[in-house]
Structure 1
Amino acid sequence: MSIFDIQHNRKNTRSVKWDMLQSIFQTDDVLPMWVADMDFKAPEQVNQALIERAKHGIYGYTIIDDEVRTSITNWLSHRHKWDIQKNWLLFSPGVVTSLHMAVQAFTKPGDKIMIQTPVYTPFYKVIKNHGRQIVTNPLQYENNYYKIDFADFEKKLTEGVNAFILCSPHNPVGRVWKKEELTEIARLCKKYDVIIISDEIHGDLTFPNEVHIPIASLSDEVADRTITCMSPSKTFNLAGLQASYIVVANNKLRKQLNNQLLKQGIQELNTMGNVAIEAAYNHGEAWLEELRQVLKGHKDYVQESFNKHIPEITVTNSEGTYLLWINCSSLNMDTEKLKKFMIQEAKVGLNPGVDYGEEATTFMRMNIACPKATLEEGVRRIITAVKSIN
């Protein structure tokens, strides 16, 4: 049996995913396939490193030393063909925190910040909460696949956008942007002098044969205007350890961002986050390679099952992440009815698409980072519920 087939009981562990069902779905009787963490144990080398650190029993102030930085630079070089300098690294508790810091460091209240919708819900908050204006560049949905509308992208930039937040790979639609797409984004942002804030937390989670390209790795010129936010948390299921980093090549921009982090007092990592980054990046590659195969198999299973039994629901063609973007428009339900249907009839806890953008009212987001038995049960529930209304 694969380690990814083992079912672990996560209830009563203060798990957002499993212990907040009543508050999120108003019932405990749903199978949670929503919030983006995995039902898999982290790599054994990570767990052992944490256990060994805990045995020491003293949790004083912790430094981010050269070994931790080296583990990051080696990972980015080996996995993503991106060679960075250790002094380009800054640290924060999480990528969303980093986005908040970047918005405050590089824009002013009233400035316009562009996002590509439908998109990860915190993007809206990191703009609105700081008094900035949201500008949307809606992705084009054609033939069950998403593309960038570059004509609209440039039009919006001409109207005075100050920063662009890129989601790469994209959550929730699962696109892994191609080099040509990233190159055109970079060209237009340079043309209109727009800073790029790139959320690349899902960068390691591409399907086999798909390649994530950090946008800042395209050229020194692109790196000079890019703030790249990354973390091993999605890759190795470490979100609760609150450890992420930011790569900033431009000395001036890095100083600005570091000042913002210092102002908020959040420029360090906690003791266990420090240990986990180093262990995951130094020893987690084999685990990740198996995971990527598992996730591709899970995606194919859901897609084939729905196509065979309930073609009314379509799984969007994606290239990465463990989040499936499901088109339920053929069910002819509005947002509220669709949400209730999945909770009350299918008894599966998914994320409503409307949370990611007004253009996604008939979509749902499904987390497939779970053992195959759990996945099969979730799929069975949805198929049974949809068939019952036909």
Structure 2
Amino acid sequence: MIYNFDEVIDRRNTDALKLEALQPRWGRTDLIPLWVADMDFRTPPFIIKALRDRLENEILGYTVKPDSWYDSIINWVNQRYGWKVSREMMNFTPGIVPGLAMLIQSLTRPGDKVMVQPPVYHPFFLITQHNNREVVYNPLVLENGQFRMDMERFKEDVKGCKLFILCNPHNPGGRVWTKEELIEVARICDENGTIVVSDEIHADLTLPPNKHCSFATVSEEARRNSIVFMSPSKAFNMPGMASSYCIIENESIRRTFTAYINGSEYAEGNVFSFIGVAAAYSNGTEWLDQVIAYIQGNIDFTDRFLKERIPAIKAILPQASYLVFLDCRELGLSQPELVSLFVEGAHLALNDGAIFGKEGTGFMRLNVATPRSVLQKALEQLEKACNERQK
């Protein structure tokens, strides 16, 4: 089956966050929304069919986790990442960010240190702060157009930290960490008694020829000292279902976390929580291959457009996902001026790079998971705004 990602779909009147938040966040509604990390493509038809089939039985009663949920996850992570897991290692969470908050609450105490690597997905440090834990910042280094870890600084910053939240692959930079890098992270954290929490929500969107390594698979230290979060929500455009899961091989860590979430019934899910996951992982390979190819085409289109027509803005080419971090520092603007250029000048809603930490100052995050005609219009509006500013 050939899927049509060029179709422009009207998302008005669906309570879509990327539209409903325009007025409260930017004070206007005439912006092309290329910010929040969902796609403007139809959720795959096999997922929609699974939900419709369930609705044929018109009783939305209490629900257990079906065998299909467990089996689809076990098969998916084994086939794609060579990771053999069992049901006992798995826990449902109603989204990865809520799951991270539960981990922080169950495995640390107020005042404990949690390390993150800015520029990074901002809920990592926000939920840490909101739970009265101390954030330790271990900045990434931008070098030759890609982010890398400074391992010498990592060794110092991680000392005394209870948790390290790893963005794997990285958001907003799109970096796919190598096995060698992850082995070193695992070794350092194991020596320091720091548990690694690996957020792998973008893993399924790894762009060829890059290869994603699930953290727990890279070494024995990683296996016994990690918690891995995954979800089909980004890859199959179903984040509104708030369905994710974590896999914990270490029995002691798993027992502590499971006791916490079971004590508050956080892992119960709802009638639709498990159906979409099973449908995505059981039927999704062909659709996923096609959407990844389309996303790569949009990334290439963006890169060419900027090089040819707005050379002062440079794309950090992602190795995974549809998020492109735009390096706008050559424009010579303050961050408020940069945001104004995009919003007031180009009529675009992107993520302000500074929300990912001060290391994101001078950057904007662009979501290219949209029909190419929309992306082209957005880039042309940005080109016009940049040209008018130079007059």
Distance in 2, Cα, partners of 1:318 & 1:362: 18
Question: Does structure 1 retain, via aligned residues, the 8 Å contact 2:312–2:331?
Answer: yes
Give the secondary-structure state (helix, strand or coil) at the position aligned to 2:325.
Answer: strand
Q: Deviations over 1:207-233 (max 9, x none)?
A: 121111111011343111101111111
Q: Which amino acid aligns with 2:211?
A: V
User: TM-score normalised to the size of structure 1?
Assistant: 0.98
Q: Which amino acid aligns with 2:70?
A: R
Deviation at 1:163, TM superposition (A): 1.0
Mapping for residues 239-258 of structure 1, pairs under 5 Å? 239-258=239-258
Question: Does structure 1 retain, via aligned residues, the 8 Å contact 2:97–2:123?
Answer: yes
| % same residue | 36
Question: Does structure 2 retain, via aligned residues, the 8 Å contact 1:242–1:269?
Answer: no
Asked if 1:24 is matched to 2:25, the reply is yes
Question: Does structure 2 retain, via aligned residues, the 8 Å contact 1:313–1:326?
Answer: yes
Q: Which amino acid aligns with 1:4?
A: F
Q: Which amino acid aligns with 1:96?
A: V
Distance in 1, Cα, partners of 2:264 & 2:131: 14
C-alpha RMSD over aligned residues: 1.1
Long gaps (5+) in structure 2: none
Give the secondary-structure state (helix, strand or coil) at the position aligned to 1:153.
Answer: helix
Aligned to 2:358: 358
Question: Does structure 1 retain, via aligned residues, the 8 Å contact 2:26–2:343?
Answer: yes
Aligned to 2:79: 78
Question: Does structure 1 retain, via aligned residues, the 8 Å contact 2:3–2:287?
Answer: no
Asked if 1:326 is matched to 2:331, the reply is no
Q: Which amino acid aligns with 2:119?
A: P
Deviation at 1:110, TM superposition (A): 0.7
Aligned to 2:283: 283
Q: Which amino acid aligns with 1:42?
A: T
Greater shift in the superposed pair: 96-105 or 258-267: 258-267
Q: Which amino acid aligns with 1:152?
A: R
Distance in 1, Cα, partners of 2:155 & 2:116: 13
Give the secondary-structure state (helix, strand or coil) at the position aligned to 2:115.
Answer: strand
Distance in 2, Cα, partners of 1:188 & 1:60: 47
Question: Does structure 2 retain, via aligned residues, the 8 Å contact 1:242–1:270?
Answer: no
Distance in 2, Cα, partners of 1:129 & 1:381: 38
Asked if 1:114 is matched to 2:111, the reply is no
Distance in 2, Cα, partners of 1:145 & 1:83: 31
Distance in 1, Cα, partners of 2:191 & 2:260: 27
Deviation at 1:2, TM superposition (A): 4.3
Question: Does structure 2 retain, via aligned residues, the 8 Å contact 1:324–1:368?
Answer: yes
Distance in 1, Cα, partners of 2:3 & 2:173: 28
Give the secondary-structure state (helix, strand or coil) at the position aligned to 2:158.
Answer: helix
Deviation at 1:125, TM superposition (A): 1.5
Q: Give the total of aligned pairs.
A: 389
Asked if 1:340 is matched to 2:326, the reply is no
Q: Deviations over 1:299-354 (max 9, x none)?
A: 11101100000100000132011100001111111111111111010001000000
Aligned to 1:200: 200
Aligned to 2:235: 235
Question: Does structure 2 retain, via aligned residues, the 8 Å contact 1:310–1:383?
Answer: yes
Give the secondary-structure state (helix, strand or coil) at the position aligned to 1:233.
Answer: coil
Distance in 2, Cα, partners of 1:126 & 1:43: 31
Mapping for residues 1-390 of structure 1, pairs under 5 Å? 2-158=3-159, 160-390=160-390
Distance in 2, Cα, partners of 1:141 & 1:334: 20
Q: Which amino acid aligns with 1:63?
A: V
Give the secondary-structure state (helix, strand or coil) at the position aligned to 2:203.
Answer: coil
Question: Does structure 2 retain, via aligned residues, the 8 Å contact 1:200–1:228?
Answer: yes
Question: Does structure 1 retain, via aligned residues, the 8 Å contact 2:186–2:219?
Answer: no
Question: Does structure 2 retain, via aligned residues, the 8 Å contact 1:243–1:270?
Answer: no
Give the secondary-structure state (helix, strand or coil) at the position aligned to 1:365.
Answer: strand
Distance in 2, Cα, partners of 1:245 & 1:363: 31
Q: Which amino acid aligns with 1:66?
A: D
Long gaps (5+) in structure 1: none
